[in-house]
Structure 1
Amino acid sequence: MTDLELDGRVLDHLFEVIESRRDDDPETSHTAKLFNKGVLKIAQKVGEEATETVIEGVAGSREQLADESADLLYHLLVLWASRGLTPNDIWRQLEGRKGISGIAEKAARGVALEG
């Protein structure tokens, strides 16, 4: 696959694969096993992967950061699917924030800004 073929559409495709494995055998599919364990376990995995990504971002190699980032994105997509969200739901949120500073966007949502 060339760099031209590698873009954000890979996330949409991964989401389709995740959805297609929702009802597979949990003994043979990691994705089905996550769905079977429920949203709390899925959310826990997202947290674990986020922590590992942060650690690699600070102290790891670029390759390790890329590996952990891929794990984080996979688990985040599983979480979205478990809660009935699709990537398009998230893309719409991001599109709606175009041209708005992060400070203004957070203020509009009533989110306190951190130092």
Structure 2
Amino acid sequence: MSKQDLGSAKRLNELLATLAETVDSRADGNPEKSYTARLLKSGPVRCGKKIAEEGAEVALAIAAETRKDVAAETADLLFHLLVGLRVRGVQLDMVADALSERRGVSGIAEKAARQTKA
């Protein structure tokens, strides 16, 4: 990873941590005044649908839109993922642990291991 990529990763990490804190702080907010509070109060099914919608928008942007559009749609997806994690009580440390467990493991092997567990 280049020095520039490391700097970008650090910046993204900091921004995601701040966004996660903002999502947490809005959990008990007024749904009339906060979109985040409204989403959280709508529950996991609605949050899951929003994640699916945003994921589709990212995929379409990757297929046919500008890099700026891809970045904007990805930002929307990351926000909705954080809301979805919050509504299900999944801490970012749990996601980090899952990623850490996969470090150095082939994607093909990891997928095969998941299929044998099912």
**TM-score by shorter chain over 0.5:** yes
Q: What are the equivalent positions in structure 2 for 1:87-98 lying under 5 Å apart?
A: 87-98=92-103
Q: Do the aligned partners of residues 4 and 52 (structure 1) sit closer, same or farther apart at CA in structure 2, a change above 3 Å counting?
A: closer
Q: Do the aligned partners of residues 59 and 97 (structure 1) sit closer, same or farther apart at CA in structure 2, a change above 3 Å counting?
A: same
Q: Any idea what the Cα deviations from partners look like across 1:51-106, whole Å, max 9, x if unmatched? A: 11100000000000000000000001100011010111101100110111001111
Aligned to 1:32: 37
Aligned to 1:105: 110
Q: Do the aligned partners of residues 109 and 53 (structure 1) sit closer, same or farther apart at CA in structure 2, a change above 3 Å counting?
A: same
Q: What are the equivalent positions in structure 2 for 1:1-115 lying under 5 Å apart?
A: 3=8, 6-110=11-115
Q: Do the aligned partners of residues 4 and 93 (structure 1) sit closer, same or farther apart at CA in structure 2, a change above 3 Å counting?
A: closer
For residue 17 of structure 2, give the secondary structure of its aligned residue in structure 1: helix
Structure 2 unaligned segments of length 5 or more: list them: 1-6
Cα distance in 2, alignment partners of residues 48 and 84 from structure 1: 21
| Aligned-partner residue type, residue 50 of structure 1 | G
Q: What number of residue pairs does the alignment pair up? A: 110
Structure 1 unaligned segments of length 5 or more: list them: none
Q: Any idea what the Cα deviations from partners look like across 1:14-37, whole Å, max 9, x if unmatched? A: 111101100100011000000111
| Aligned-partner residue type, residue 23 of structure 2 | I
When normalised by structure 2's length, the TM-score is 0.87
CA deviation after TM superposition for structure 1 residue 3, in Å: 5.0
More helix by share: 2
Fraction of identical pairs, as percent? 39
When normalised by structure 1's length, the TM-score is 0.89
